[in-house]
Amino acid sequence: MTTGSGTVQVVRSVAELEGIREELRGTERTVGFVPTMGFLHDGHASLLAAARAQCDFVVLSIFVNPKQFNQASDLEGYPRDEERDLGIAAEQGVDLVFSPEADDLYPEGFATSVEVRGLTDVLCGSEDSRGAGHFRGVTTVVALLLNLVDPDVAYFGQKDAQQAAVIGRMVRDLAFRTRVAVVPTVREPDGLAMSSRNARLSEAGRQTAVVVPRALERAREVALSEGPAAGIEAGRAVFRAEGLEPEYLEARTLSGLREVEEASEDDWMLAVAVEVDGVRLIDNLPVEAGTGKGAGR
């Protein structure tokens, strides 16, 4: 397919992808991979740009994975626009787009799942949130895609910090040869983290949503001077002023997702999930190791 500023090859079957990957193995070209569920935005574009800058051949997958949705309505309501996605892929210099049907990735009799214990029962994996089943769906499809694409580097966004931590642990534990690269969050001018879900916000909801980065900034400010517990309470106060109660607002380490009690600890973040206008938004604000400075903007 030729679109935008270049030519993008689109494959829709596992068999075709395996043939292309086998050809690449006979070369010394490095492969970068960006797995997505489509409806691309500038955050995805930053992942693709990083892959393009660092690798010889860039693969983008577009697959709305049914295994990571707990509610059928959420799956049905997930925004889709493949034509626009392919245009963005072309603009970013993607070489290959893999966009399979669910029946091809999960054929009849598919009975395997991949689960990362410990990191998936907190934050978005807690019983009060999406639950560990969500991440089981994520790790299963990512493991499958990594096996099929066999990339040298796979790129994930910092906005989905828990997902990045879970995938990183899975890759280490299962000895995938792929390196996981985490790219900083891309934000709108008012600070809202870019997300495909933002498209589901009404105009009023979009205006309210800016409370998410404001609350995180306030939480960070207080956490660095008075400690994480005080920072979390300050952030919750910002939400309450808007009539919102976050699903969670916590201080966690970036890699192990361990609770943080002292602001002086290295590599931690403030992470939040909150429903705004009927849309569940997640975000986080990392703190640079040993500096006490925000690293999320």
Q: For the chain, which domains are there?
A: 2-183 (3.40.50.620), 196-287 (3.30.1300.10)
Segment 19-37 shows an average pLDDT of 95
Give the per-residue pLDDT at 72.
78
pLDDT in tens, 145-157: 999 999 999 999 9
Mean pLDDT over the full length of the chain: 92
Percent residues over pLDDT 70 in the chain: 93
Q: Of these residues, 17, 33, 44, 148, which one is catalytic?
A: 44
Closest among 10, 12, 13, 60 to 32, alpha carbons compared: 60
Task: Give the pTM.
Answer: 0.92
Q: Does residue 178 have a pLDDT over 60?
A: yes
Does 134 participate in catalysis according to the annotation? no
Residue 132: band (very low, low, confident or very high) from pLDDT cuts 50, 70, 90: low
pLDDT in tens, 210-219: 999 999 999 9
Contact 156, 51 (CB under 8 A): no
User: 279 pairs with which residues across the strands?
Assistant: 276
